[in-house]
Structure 1
Amino acid sequence: MIILDENVLRESICAAIARWYTGRVRFISDLRLNSVIKDEAIPGLLMSERQPTFVTTNTTDFSQRVAPHPRYCVVCLTLPNERQDEIPDSLRRLFRMPAFRTKAARMGNVVRAAPTFLQFHRVGDNTVHTVPW
């Protein structure tokens, strides 16, 4: 399951991901209807779902502040709002990398995808890994 952050609340992005991703694509607001979801509540909501990959462009709040957990993956795409249409292709590109190809491989990672490199850290490993992409 892919869960899109509230800063990515565009049906066109959801639909573009759903064209190639075989699982469900939902918005974070679908997990707790009719309420404001604060950033610090998101890890708990993710753990209530089955192996979700949370996608956001809010890299400041998530890439450094959210701890990796074996039950979810967080993907922070460093894209400004005017380039959000690139989210589906960037996500698909990430999912084609061997280290992130399967849901099982993604779980436990917090990933920051910049234009030319990826940084990620995972459960049980305090090292921040940087790879070109």
Structure 2
Amino acid sequence: MIVLDEQLKNAGLTEAIQRWYRGRVVSITTLRPGTVIKDDVIPLLLRQVSDPIFVTINVTDFWQRTAADRHFCVACFPLTDDRAGEIPELLRRLLQLPEFRTKRERQGKVIRASQTQVQYYPHDGRIRTLSW
């Protein structure tokens, strides 16, 4: 399951990702409808669903602030709102890398994926860098 951050729900990303992703694509608001969802609650919500990938452009609040958790993966894309349309292509490329190809390989990692490189940290907090 891919869970999109609240600020991405109206960007047409759900449909674009569903063209190639076989699982469910939902907004974080689907996990707790009718309420305001603060960033610090998101990890708790992600633990309630099976092996989600949380996708956000809110890098400052998630990259190196969210602890890696074996129940989910966080994928941060350092893009502005007007460039959010690039996420489906970047996410697809990311999920084709050997380090993130399967749920088992990507769970427990927090990722920062830009146009030129991918950085991630697992439970130990050490940042690894991949070029692409």
The DSSP-based 3-state class of the residue aligned with 1:48 is: coil
Aligned length: 132
Residue aligned with 1:99, SS: coil
Indicate yes or no: 2:102 matched with 1:102: yes
Indicate the RMSD between aligned Cα atoms, in angstroms: 0.9
Structure-1 residue corresponding to 2:72 = 72
The 5 A counterparts of 1:1-133 are 1-10=1-10, 12-123=12-123, 125-133=124-132
- The runs of 4+ residues in structure 1 deviating greater than 4 Å are none
Q: Which of the pair is proportionally richer in strand?
A: 1
CA contact (8 A) 2:50 2:71 kept: yes
Cα displacement (A) at 1:126: 2.7
Q: 2:122, 2:76 → 1: CA distance?
A: 14
Please, which runs of 5 or more residues in structure 1 have no aligned partner?
A: none
Amino acid corresponding to residue 103 of structure 1 in structure 2: K
Task: Give the residue type in structure 2 aligned to 1:101.
Answer: R
Q: Letter of the 2:126 partner, please give it.
A: T
User: Where does the alignment leave 5 or more consecutive residues of structure 2 unmatched?
Assistant: none
Whole-angstrom distance in 2 between the partners of 1:7 and 1:36: 12
TM-score of the superposed pair, with normalisation by structure 2? 0.97
Amino acid at match of 1:121: Y
Output the amino acid matched with 2:66.
V
| Whole-angstrom CA distance in 2 between matches of 1:51 and 1:20 | 18
Matching residue's letter, 2:127: V
TM-score (norm 1): 0.96
Secondary structure, aligned partner of 2:126: strand
Following the alignment from structure 2 to structure 1, what is the Cα–Cα distance between the partners of residues 130 and 14? 27
